[in-house]
Amino acid sequence: MQSRPSLPGAVREGGPVSTARAPLRPLDEALAELLSRARPLADTEQVATFDADGRVLAQEVVSLLHVPPQDNSSMDGYALRCADVAPAGVVLPVSQRIAAGSSGAALLPGTAARIFTGAPVPSGANTIVMQEDCEPADDGRAVRVNIVPTPGQWIRRAGEDVTRDAVVLHQGERLSPASLGLAASIGMAQLTVRRKPRVALFSTGDELVMPGDVAPQDMRAGAIYNSNRFFLRALLLRLGCEVTDLGIVPDRLDATVQALLDAAHAHDLILTSGGVSVGEEDHIKPAVQRLGELNLWQIAIKPGKPFAYGQVGGTHFIGLPGNPVSSFVTFLLLVRPFLLKLSGCNCVDTKTTAFSAHFNWPRADKRREFLRVRRNPQGGLDLFPNQSSGVLTSAVWGDGLVELEPGQTVAHGDVVRFIPFSELVA
């Protein structure tokens, strides 16, 4: 946990928070502001390589050996010398049998060694002929070689994958299953990683009800189930965070202030959903301003304009919109890179791919816009028909977002920027 000053025992008194309209911050500017404040966590820990998937390396990993450690066969077949096979059809006596995990003797001139995948190549041999190109002879005591081999074929050289003293994994890499296999291949049973970010999560809104607490037929008028809490927690866990779920906070300023005070202790980030607009029941902004400071307020994107960033004491605060699609999209575009950098990850960029739009979008917006789309069998993108910020179905149906610049329209066949959800939620 980052060092932070003590929170005040009582909140600061203040007058009504101004709701004067300020210019919306462009997305790139807001993201740069967030990343400038996300200092990587200093604390590290050692974890078993088996358990390190998704963690961020705190120090580089250097190999103490070659991988593979010696020349070995990449095929089942016969190890021999090219000079002993001219022309094709030569019959050679089989002088030894070498399996993976064993060590053969030096190859006698004019002989072949039966060899299996992964077995070390005996000294004196300079090629492997796979068994499909050979025929056993003399009851298996000899072999007929039906091709003229070339030097080095089907031989994996020592150090072909990794050389001794090479850096195989770099500080700041987010470990993948392949990374764990590579670390294991050089004998690393443990890895030094950054500790997980600690995130306090809560929702605001008197209309929210938890699934299971009230049956659908018993829901009061105006009540809705809290969907944001479920996907936000899942996204945080996928990013390797430790999540403290603080539930639903009532739409009262005193309750919001107390929730923020409670969340600030022992957490690196407070993440909230709802209450960040400018209505009389939206208390996040005045509560944060009483306890700390608000550095970002409202972003020029659609969906997701009511986004907030600040600090409560020394703890980062991010407030997401209450509409589910707005909350989902702003998490992916802003919270995800913020948390990756906080985790010490050296790659936080969101990658886009060029795709053909198989739809029309004639309604340009002044803000940067993100449409929910799905790839089709023809290699283009289809548009979900309802792009409302409250229609979470669009994020389940779709497999990514199309990013449009302010004022951009789309005609069928235009090339657009596509961000796959697989890139954002892995």
Backbone angle region of 274, left / alpha / beta, with phi > 0 → left and psi within -120 to 50 → alpha? left
Buried b (16+ CB within 10 A) or exposed e, 57-93: bbeebebeebbbeebbbebbbbbbbbebbeeeebebe
Identify the pLDDT of residue 9. Answer: 36
User: What average pLDDT does range 54-64 have in this prediction?
Assistant: 97
Residue 229: pLDDT above 70? yes
Indicate the fold that domain 72-156 takes in CATH: Molybdopterin biosynthesis moeA protein; domain 3 (2.170.190)
Contact call for residues 36 and 295 (beta carbons, < 8 A): no
Among 128, 129, 121, 83, CA closest to 104: 121
Amino acid at 392: L
Identify the pLDDT of residue 21. Answer: 61
Backbone angle region of 212, left / alpha / beta, with phi > 0 → left and psi within -120 to 50 → alpha? left
Please report which confidence band the pLDDT of residue 180 belongs to, taking 50, 70 and 90 as the band edges. Answer: very high
Among 123, 120, 155, 149, CA closest to 134: 149
Task: Give backbone dihedrals phi and psi of 309, rounded to 5 degrees, phi first.
Answer: -140, 140
Structure tokens at 79: 């190890």
Domain range summary for the chain, segments of one domain joined by +: 27-43+196-342, 47-67+160-194, 72-156, 353-425
CA–CA separation, 221 and 217 (whole Å): 11
Residue 149 is given by DSSP the state -
Residue 278: pLDDT above 60? no
Identify the pLDDT of residue 211. Answer: 87
Please report which confidence band the pLDDT of residue 155 belongs to, taking 50, 70 and 90 as the band edges. Answer: very high
CA–CA separation, 416 and 142 (whole Å): 64
Residue 207: pLDDT above 90? no
Residue 59: pLDDT above 80? yes
Pairing of strands 315-320, 308-312: antiparallel
Please report the DSSP string for 22-89 in residue order. Answer: -PPBPHHHHHHHHHHH-PPP--EEEEEGGG-TT-BBSS-EE-SS-BSSS-EESSSEEEE-GGG--STT
Identify the pLDDT of residue 12. Answer: 38
- The label of the residue with tokens 């910020």 reads 389
CA–CA separation, 99 and 306 (whole Å): 65
- The label of the residue with tokens 């020029």 reads 300
Identify the pLDDT of residue 302. Answer: 96
Question: Which CATH number is 47-67+160-194 given?
Answer: 3.90.105.10
Class at the top of the CATH hierarchy for domain 353-425:
mainly beta
Please report which confidence band the pLDDT of residue 280 belongs to, taking 50, 70 and 90 as the band edges. Answer: low
Pairing of strands 77-80, 112-115: antiparallel
Residue 34: pLDDT above 80? yes
Among 372, 368, 387, CA closest to 301: 368
Contact call for residues 297 and 29 (beta carbons, < 8 A): no
User: What average pLDDT does range 159-188 have in this prediction?
Assistant: 97
Query: What pLDDT digit, counting tens, does each position of 102-151 carry?
Result: 989 999 999 999 999 999 999 999 999 999 999 999 998 999 999 999 99
Question: Which CATH number is 27-43+196-342 given?
Answer: 3.40.980.10
Bigger pLDDT: 86 or 168? Answer: 168
Tell me the β-bridge partners of 416.
355
Q: What percent of the chain has pLDDT over 70?
A: 93
User: What average pLDDT does range 47-65 have in this prediction?
Assistant: 97
